[in-house]
Amino acid sequence: MKIAIAQINYHIGNFESNVDKIISSIKKAEKNGAEIVIFSELAIPGYPPRDFLEFRDFVNKCYDSVETVAGYCTNIAAIVGTPVFNENPKGKPLYNAAAVLYDGKVQKYIRKTLLPNYDIFDEYRYFEPNREFEIVEYKGKKLAVTVCEDLWNVTDSPLYVTNPMDELIKFNPDFIINIAASPFDYKQEKLRKEVLKRNAVEYNLPLFYVNHVGAQTELLFDGGSLVMNRKGEIVNELKYFEEDFSITDSEEVDELTPVKPHNPPEISLIHDALVMGVKNYFEKLGFKKAIIGLSGGIDSAVTAVIAARALGNENVYNVMLPSRYSSEHSVNDAVKLAENVKMPYDIISIEKTFSALEETLKPYFKGLPFNIAEENLQARARGVILMGLSNKFGYILLNTSNKSETAVGYGTLYGDMNGGLSVLGDVYKTRVFELARYINKDEEIIPENIITKPPSAELRPDQKDSDSLPDYKILDKILYLYIEERKGPKEIVNEGFEPGLVKRVLKMVNTNEYKRYQTPPILRVTPKAFGMGRRMPIVAKYLL
């Protein structure tokens, strides 16, 4: 049986576009001799639709869309992800399902059994788990159709008491089909392939896997759909970070030569994911141009280059906003970068704005010495100017804060934390340097001085980040152990860090939760990003 895999970039709630893409792939599959074409989990509405699922009208549109797609499945079958109503009066109102379409209509729905409810996943909020198992029979073949997490209970620490494939194998299927929405992080590809391999080997079956590709606000999907033989070897692999299409004959899977493994460096994956994330965020919102406060520092430099690669250099407007404390080389470095990338730029001094704010507040500051209040006034003056330009010309302001700063609160609300999208908010500072080096791997795009000079906010004379923060190499290791690995203070100290420093860093993380609640969406590239996958209380007293 020739099986087509359609790896598509869907748009949540854009039923017309999603259906058009699905129908186009069905026609392509049929024209090229495929007998069945598979689409990813919740392909019809896009993933994750979240609380749109609470609107009956939204789900009804899913039903209408499935019926439209089914009309094109007269000489070919399709499997497409969609929500369906739970007709039982008990339980959650919906199922997450795979609609099986052929002979011009919906033949059956295969419902998802295992509903992830961890990290960014919240499926049990909406869906009822399946409790009855069946296979799909089509043209003399038996298909074990599963939905994403249904294959994930084969890890060394299983989360569920049920394993759907243990039930489906009883029907003697010919192969496994898994339709998925597996979000990207830089570790996910290897984990995903290991999970799929365990299924192919354990059940001694070829496996056809289709994944989403594209960005849905902060969630990034890398694609990488594939076909495995029963030995767990990949014999066909689709592209990463872009739409793709492929056909494989199920009868030939075990005879095909395994493909060369996709194994790029982590920093390459992160770079490509961020470029795709920015590109899709703008496209799906209908915007074309970005504005960035280009400081001459490494964070804004890396953000600007990523934006230029995503949107086109002519669509990234860079504004240098020097103050009385800005060094001349910072402005020069920023100008050189803008010229290297051929991005438009302007230099707007904040001195008049800052001086006016100082003069206005002087009677009320009661003669107290210069401190963080005046530093933040500068950051907020920049924020006002950037947002003014954003409003006037319809730009989206890109936030340039990195994960290290976001973690410890080293940023100013309503100032440098402004923005419609945070590009580097899930990238630690040490990784930002890696990104800069990766960007410069073929030629100097980011001026060397931006990469090598000591990081500084330049909000007071001779200021350096190291005045307020530990060395980033040390800070990032502590943050990783606390945020990604969820280790407590004693465990982190046992890793070789000074107890007082650990206590200080963890306190900074926890006391600045209120700031993170007010940040723009952060593109997720690690297994534990700030945002929808990390839910912490603000008024808490843990480790304070």
112 catalytic residue (yes or no) = yes
Choosing from 61, 62, 148, 429, the catalytic residue is 148
508-513 CB contacts, 8 Å cutoff, 24+ apart: 508/407, 508/408, 508/409, 509/407, 509/408, 509/479, 509/482, 509/483, 510/536, 510/540, 510/542, 510/543, 510/544, 511/409, 511/544, 512/407, 512/408, 512/409, 513/537, 513/538, 513/540
Annotation says 62 is catalytic? no
Rounded Cα–Cα distance for residues 264 and 18 (Å): 30
205, 144 contact by CB (below 8 A): yes
The verdict on whether 73 is a catalytic residue reads no
Query: Dihedrals φ, ψ of 104, to 5°?
Result: 75, 10
Q: What is the DSSP string of 227-268?
A: EE-TTS-EEEE--BSS-EEEEEETTTGGGSPPPPP----HHH
Integer angstrom CA distances of residue 285 from 11, 100, 277, 437: 10, 31, 12, 31
Distances (CA, A) of 477 to 289, 299, 495, 497: 35, 19, 10, 9
Q: Annotated catalytic residue: which of 21, 35, 73, 112?
A: 112
CA distance 62 to 444: 49
d(CA 184, CA 445): 27
Q: Which residues are catalytic?
A: 41, 112, 148
